[in-house]
Chains A and B, each alone.
Chain A
């Protein structure tokens, strides 16, 4: 799935997706996380990782 398709499905702007992709995001709303998981049919743990 391309970023354009994902942005349309999740209703997030491309710039915000780019912020997520480049790791500059400071926080993610639960509503956004839910929408991404729904679009990608996955669990939050599949797309979130803790790096100490």
Chain B
């Protein structure tokens, strides 16, 4: 029995998945802010939530910077999924005429956010490596939510190239629409 999935069905599945991931990433970003505030102001024992007790004991300033980098990466990811949810919600992905300004802006936005996520993840990992050299016990990149920096950078740069090609597609489609 052959099962065919149409583009519309695929978009619906992606829409639901995007919402789930967006909510999850927002909760994660919120947890970073809450836990940072709680650890720095109320109870330092909470630093163990991120396995950063060693870092907090070494220097609360470095702890705050590390959490800030982790929070920025999570917020950038949330922005990305917000853009995806928004374009699917507004139904601006017109498969009949895909080369429109809204889709072009979407691809450009996602590419900049992906490059930003990659850069901040890279800096976070290098910062963590520097802290390890200072003798601080640090969790790995995955536990710091900074994994896959190179993948984000690759995706961002690829999307930047695609965005440039898309611009030409928009020009061609606009010209075609005004051709009688």
Binding site for B on A (CB under 8 A): 12, 16-17, 19-20, 24-29, 32
Contact = CB atoms under 8 A, between A and B. Distances in A.
B180 interface: yes
A18 B178 CA distance: 11
B71 to A, nearest CB: 48
Interface in B148-180: 175, 178-180
A24 B178 contact: yes
Nearest to B178: A26
Interface of B: 175, 178-180
Nearest to B174: A26
B174 to A, nearest CB: 8
B179 A29 contact: yes
A26 B178 CA distance: 5
Given A26-B175, A27-B179, A28-B180, 17 more contacts: A12-B180, A16-B180, A17-B180, A19-B178, A19-B180, A25-B178, A25-B179, A25-B180, A26-B178, A26-B179, A27-B175, A27-B178, A27-B180, A28-B179, A29-B179, A29-B180, A32-B180
Contacts of B175: 26-27
A32 B180 CA distance: 7
A27 B175 CA distance: 8
A19 B177 CA distance: 10
14 contacts: A12-B180, A19-B178, A19-B180, A20-B180, A24-B178, A25-B179, A25-B180, A26-B175, A26-B179, A27-B175, A27-B180, A28-B179, A29-B179, A29-B180
Contacts of A28: 179-180
Nearest to A12: B180
Contacts of B178: 19, 24-27
A26 B174 CA distance: 9
A29 to B, nearest CB: 7
A23 B152 CA distance: 46
A1 B138 CA distance: 81
